[in-house]
Amino acid sequence: MMTVYFVVAAGAVVAGFVQGLSGFAFGLVAMSFWVWAVDPQTAAALTVFGGLLGQLIAAFSVRRGFSSRLLLPFVLGGLAGIPVGVWLLPMVDANTFKIGMGAILLVWCPTMLFAQRIPKIAFGGRLADAAAGLAGGVLGGFGGFTGVIPTLWCVLRGFPREEQRAVIQNFNLAMLVVIMATYVASGLVTKGTLPLFAIVAPAMLIPTFLGTRMYKGMSDLRFRQVVLGLLIVSGLIMFASGLAG
């Protein structure tokens, strides 16, 4: 049991720092630790809890402009996708989950790493933004990974750095509030997860604040190289482990 607590705390520390730095990716980073120690449903509940807490901290530490016109399609799509993700969660076993998460990391992270070379996407308008939000809602309901697809879509759209952070930070906050309430109502949050929540919260607190501080002075290029490189390695390990299992 002590090993489980250590792995949960380590994942919260690293993921909290990354989320504070970037405004997203708590679930991806934390899950690369937690899939080794806890079952997928517990890991999903921890991811949503930690991601929500991190977004609340970031909302006060790194305040960004709020544009309802830009944000609304993402949020409406996300709300439609959350029930689908929650419905899928109990149906996926551990090895399949590792393979799926590893595949997401191996596709998404290299794409983001070389995103500056990808032509901007100008078509689709608000409907395409809503579709990106829908995908984020499905992944969010499944495991708290609300920011993966919307973040990539914002990059492909060519949104400026500050505008992208505003969209993702506010979208993630809205989605994670709804997902956490859904998890509680559906019984996915049990008494057995509460001690793990008590580990995640203090473990991620200081790293998240440090990440928000470093965000203000760190270039986008350097951030992508360090964080996405780490996530690519995590994806390789998870994918290989899932296939072996």
Provide CB contacts within 8 A for 201, sequence distance 6+. Answer: 49, 50, 53
Task: Collect contacts of 239-242 with beta carbons under 8 A, ≥24 apart.
Answer: 239/98, 239/99, 239/102, 239/103, 239/105, 239/106, 240/102, 241/95, 241/98, 241/102, 242/95, 242/96, 242/97, 242/98, 242/99, 242/100, 242/102
pLDDT tens figures, 217-229: 777 667 667 767 7
Comparing 107 with 75, which gets the higher pLDDT? 75
- In degrees rounded to 5, what are phi and psi of residue 70? -75, -35
pLDDT tens figures, 102-111: 888 788 778 7
pTM (2 d.p.)? 0.78
3 state SS of 93: coil
Locate 166 and state its tokens: 């505003």
Cα 241 from Cα 186, distance rounded (Å): 30
pLDDT, residue 116, reads 60
